[in-house]
Each structure stands twice: as structure tokens, then as C-alpha cells.
């Protein structure tokens, strides 16, 4: 499944290859998020144009959208998405966090606050309505965690999800890589809670392995919060089980700096205790400094909503930093989005900042929907941002291969 092509001296960075039934993934790689089996604003041809190698879909949301009857006749993610490259699914474990303690503690994935998009009616099961994002306001969770599994209360209806059911759903969805059921914890949980939670995650990992009957690659999940002994214990336990790869759960909070520093520490504690020959995935973390730090620590793949979600709201990633294309100063700018970018938007279509600014500023329709110009703006921005992240990963791989990773990392981050 996985082979290491080259290691970079003085760090744990490496170039590798994950071989799957739907092609090879060159690592380090960025995993594009397609929550409801669709990357919003783009189709399969668009995604191919961005050089996307791998997409991750959300098990919980697809399960709730399709229902048991829909799952029984579901043709599989590859067919539904018209995607012939590699796919992952998560386990539903993140929703244990996001719909439970994240609401109760007022914590969430690291991301800036964003405006809410206009509500839409969706009849197509493949329309992506986005993941829940908490912005720091504590509230009431809708999750009850037991030793056996989790009860979700959704619109007054209770749903049961456990390790066996998560694996069964992921097998029906048919991704190439699936993930064991786990319980992510909050940075506000104390040591005793996280220790008990870790025991649950480890038990669910063993149950996930026993439940799998397919040929899909199954990743176990390392947890343990921000406690060194628990991280090491989890890495040793999960690393010793016959998983095909390892996913690492990071800490979540509302602070950019503390989260990044905490996550780097967690990687330093965990990775030395993981098998070298298995691929490592960092769950839900993907800002550019995080990517460089993760690669140096030995991470092979990353998934994050940042490039796609921010694109829809006018945040454009460039080699010179992130820009807000909606700002007035770009209204008359005749330059392309990024002079160093070779994506279809910058290099072929030659879309100017001023033109994209005007599209984003176009008014919504009378019923609150995005105008055609606004929809096109979101598509172009998404095409560019995904291409930008994929190109960055390609350049990181090249720097490891030619022995210049440290220089590239330094030069890139001081721009």
C-alpha cells in the first residue's frame, strides 16, 4: 500500500507513494474535503484540472442524508462523484466532537469567523451543505457518549453510531481509505477524562478492525489530548495494531497560535512511536505553517476545509500571503490572482483581481441566492485555492527529493 521514496535528513520529512485501487497518491499530499461527496462549486473535471489526488467525504453527513435505504442502493462514492482517483472517508468521530463537546465548550476547528452563506433547499443528495463550525459560543451538545458507542439527537430524533456501524457505513460508501471510529476530545477536558476517552478510542479501534470485511485500507486514530504520556501510549497502542495507516487527531481551540504549538508537540510525542512503514494522516489541520511543520514531523497527508470554504467567501491564497478579494483596493487591479501560480485561473484564463472582485461584489438575487456572477466567483476562487495547495505540496515533495526542504520552508514562510 505505502512505500517511502526518499527521507529528508535532519527531519522526519519524507516523500512516499500510497498505492490504491484508484491510483497512486504521491505524498506529502493535501486531501481536499468533499463533505457530502461533492466539493462545492466544482465538478470532477474541475478537480482533475486542479491536480487533486485524493478527496475525503464525511461518513456521518452522508449516512444522515442517504439513510439506511439510500445506503443499501448507493452505487459507491466513486460512481456518485464521477471520480476515478483515490477517496477517503472519516469515521463520524469528528461529529462526536463537533456536535457534542465543541458546542458545550465553545471550541472548534481552527478557522477565522466567516459570513454565513444563504440558505438553500437541496434535493440532490450530493449537494455539499458544509460541516458545522463552532465559533467560540458555548451551547448545548446533541451527543451522548457511552462505552459502547454514541447517541446523536438530530432534529429530535435519536441515532446510534458505534465502531461496527461506522465501518459498515464506510464499506457501503466504498472509499479506498477508511478510518476507525474514535472520540476526539476538547482542550478543556482534564487529564482523567481524556485518559478514559482514550481507553474508549482504543477499544473502538480494536472493534473497528474486527468489523471490517472489505479490502479497503483502514487507518487507526491516535488521540490523547495535550498530555505527553497519553499521546505516547496511544501511538504505541494504535501503532502495534494491524492497521494499514495511522491518522492523528489534533487538538482544537479558538486560538491559532496555541493550537499550532500544541499540535506540533503532539506530533513530536506521537510519531516516534508509530511504525515507519505506514502512512500518517493529520486530521483536520491544513493551514500552510501547519503543513510545513507537519511534513517536517513526518506527516504524509493532510485534510482541511480552509482552501475551499475560504474561497467561497473571497479569501485567495497566494505565494505572497492570503488576500481578501472583496476589499475595495482590488476593484481596479489588473494583475492575476498570483503571478507565481500556474493554475487554470491564473495561467490560462488570466482572471484579474479586479474582475473577480466585481463578481464577488455582485448582489444576491431577490430570494437570497447567490447571483450567477457570485457563483462563478466562488468556482474560480475554489479552483485557484485547491490548485494553490496542490502545487505547494508538489513543490514540497520536490524540495525533499532534491535536498532543499529546509531552504524552501524558510524562504516560503518569510514571504
Per residue in 125-158, pLDDT tens? 332 222 223 333 445 668 889 999 999 987 888 9
Say whether pLDDT at 252 is over 70.
no
Looking at per-residue pLDDT, the higher value among 374 and 101 belongs to 374
User: Average of pLDDT values for 343-348?
Assistant: 96
Which of 16-25, 81-90, 246-255, 348-357 has the least mean pLDDT?
246-255
Q: Is 11 exposed, middle or buried (0-12, 13-18, 19+ CB in 10 A)?
A: middle
User: Which strands, in side-by-side order, build the sheet including 2-7?
Assistant: 2-7, 14-20, 23-27
Catalytic-role residue among 51, 90, 148, 406: 90
Distance CA 43, CA 338 (A): 23
pLDDT tens column, 108-124: 544 333 333 333 332 23
186 confidence band (pLDDT: 50, 70, 90): confident
Mean pLDDT estimate for the chain: 88
- 88: confidence class by pLDDT, cuts 50, 70, 90: very high
Looking at residue 262, its pLDDT comes to: 80
Predicted confidence at residue 15, as pLDDT, reads 98
Q: Inform me whether the pLDDT recorded for 218 exceeds 90.
A: yes
Residue 119: the pLDDT is 35
| Cis omega (within 30 of 0) for bond into 192 | no
pLDDT of 367 reads 75
Q: Provide the pLDDT for residue 178.
A: 98
Q: Contact, 108 vs 303, CB < 8 A?
A: no
pLDDT(376) > 70: yes
Q: Which residues pair with 88 in a beta bridge?
A: 56, 177
Mean pLDDT to the nearest integer, 328-348:
96
* Model pLDDT, residue 141: 63
Tell me, yes or no, if 176 is annotated catalytic. Answer: no
With a cut of 90, say whether residue 318 has pLDDT above it.
yes
Tell me which of 17-26, 67-76, 227-236, 249-258 is least confident: 249-258
Average pLDDT estimate for 347-352: 96
pLDDT band at 91 (very low <50, low <70, confident <90, very high): very high
Is residue 90 part of the annotated active site? The answer reads: yes
Active site residue: 290, 300, 303, 338, which one?
Answer: 303
Q: Are 208 and 166 in contact (CB under 8 A)?
A: yes
Residue 149: which of 214, 107, 100, 217 has the closest Cα? 100
Q: Are 404 and 358 in contact (CB under 8 A)?
A: no
In this prediction the pTM is 0.89
Helix axes 405-413, 288-297, angle to 10 degrees: 160
Are 407 and 20 spatial neighbours (Cβ–Cβ below 8 Å)? no
pLDDT at residue number 108: 54
- The pLDDT score that the predictor gives to residue 157 is 87
Set out the domains of the chain in order of their start, with CATH numbers. 2-304 (3.20.20.105), 320-380 (no CATH)
Mean pLDDT of 329-354: 96
**Poorest-pLDDT segment among 157-171, 174-188, 261-275, 355-369:** 355-369
Tell me the pLDDT tens digit for each residue of 386-409: 999 999 999 999 999 999 999 999
Amino acid at each position: 500500500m505505502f512505500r517511502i521514496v526518499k527521507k529528508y535528513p535532519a527531519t522526519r520529512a519524507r516523500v512516499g507513494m500510497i498505492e490504491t485501487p484508484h491510483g497512486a497518491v504521491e505524498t506529502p499530499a493535501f486531501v481536499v474535503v468533499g463533505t457530502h461527496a461533492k466539493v462545492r462549486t466544482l465538478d470532477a473535471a474541475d478537480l482533475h484540472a486542479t491536480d487533486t489526488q485524493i478527496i475525503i467525504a464525511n461518513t456521518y453527513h452522508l449516512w444522515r442524508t442517504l439513510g439506511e435505504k439510500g445506503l443499501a442502493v448507493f452505487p459507491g462514492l466513486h460512481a456518485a462523484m464521477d471520480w476515478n482517483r483515490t477517496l477517503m472517508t472519516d469515521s463520524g468521530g469528528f461529529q462526536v466532537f463537533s456536535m457534542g463537546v465543541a458546542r458545550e465548550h465553545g471550541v472548534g476547528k481552527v478557522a477565522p469567523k466567516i459570513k454565513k452563506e444563504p440558505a438553500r433547499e437541496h434535493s440532490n443528495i450530493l449537494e455539499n451543505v458544509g460541516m458545522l463550525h463552532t465559533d467560540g459560543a458555548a451551547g448545548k451538545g446533541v451527543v451522548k457518549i457511552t462505552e459502547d458507542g454514541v447517541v446523536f439527537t438530530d432534529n429530535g430524533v435519536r441515532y446510534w453510531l458505534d465502531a461496527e456501524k461506522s465501518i459498515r457505513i464506510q464499506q457501503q460508501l466504498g472509499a479506498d481509505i477508511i478510518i476507525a471510529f474514535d472520540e476526539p476530545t476538547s482542550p478543556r477536558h482534564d487529564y482523567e477524562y481524556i485518559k478514559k476517552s482514550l481507553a474508549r478510542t482504543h477499544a473502538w479501534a480494536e472493534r473497528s478492525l474486527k468489523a471490517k470485511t472489505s479490502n479497503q485500507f483502514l487507518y487507526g486514530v491516535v488521540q490523547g489530548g495535550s498530555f505527553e504520556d497519553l499521546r505516547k501510549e496511544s501511538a504505541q497502542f494504535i501503532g502495534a495494531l494491524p492497521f494499514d495507516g495511522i491518522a492523528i487527531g489534533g487538538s482544537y481551540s479558538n486560538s491559532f497560535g496555541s493550537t499550532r504549538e500544541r499540535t506540533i508537540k503532539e506530533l513530536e510525542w506521537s510519531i516516534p512511536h508509530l511504525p515507519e512503514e505506514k502512512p500518517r494522516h493529520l486530521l483536520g489541520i491544513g493551514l500552510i505553517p501547519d503543513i510545513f511543520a507537519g511534513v517536517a514531523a513526518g506527516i504524509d497527508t493532510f485534510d482541511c476545509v480552509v482552501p475551499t470554504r475560504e474561497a467561497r467567501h473571497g479569501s485567495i491564497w497566494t505565494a505572497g500571503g492570503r488576500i481578501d478579494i472583496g476589499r475595495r483596493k482590488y476593484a481596479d487591479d489588473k494583475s492575476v490572482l498570483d503571478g507565481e501560480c500556474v493554475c487554470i485561473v491564473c495561467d490560462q484564463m488570466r482572471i484579474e483581481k479586479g474582475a473577480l472582485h466585481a463578481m464577488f461584489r455582485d448582489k444576491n438575487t431577490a430570494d437570497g441566492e447567490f447571483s450567477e456572477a457570485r457563483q462563478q466567483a466562488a468556482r474560480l476562487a475554489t479552483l485557484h485555492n485547491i490548485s494553490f495547495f496542490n502545487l505547494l505540496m508538489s513543490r514540497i515533495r520536490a524540495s525533499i527529493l532534491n535536498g532543499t526542504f529546509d531552504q524552501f520552508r524558510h524562504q516560503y514562510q518569510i514571504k
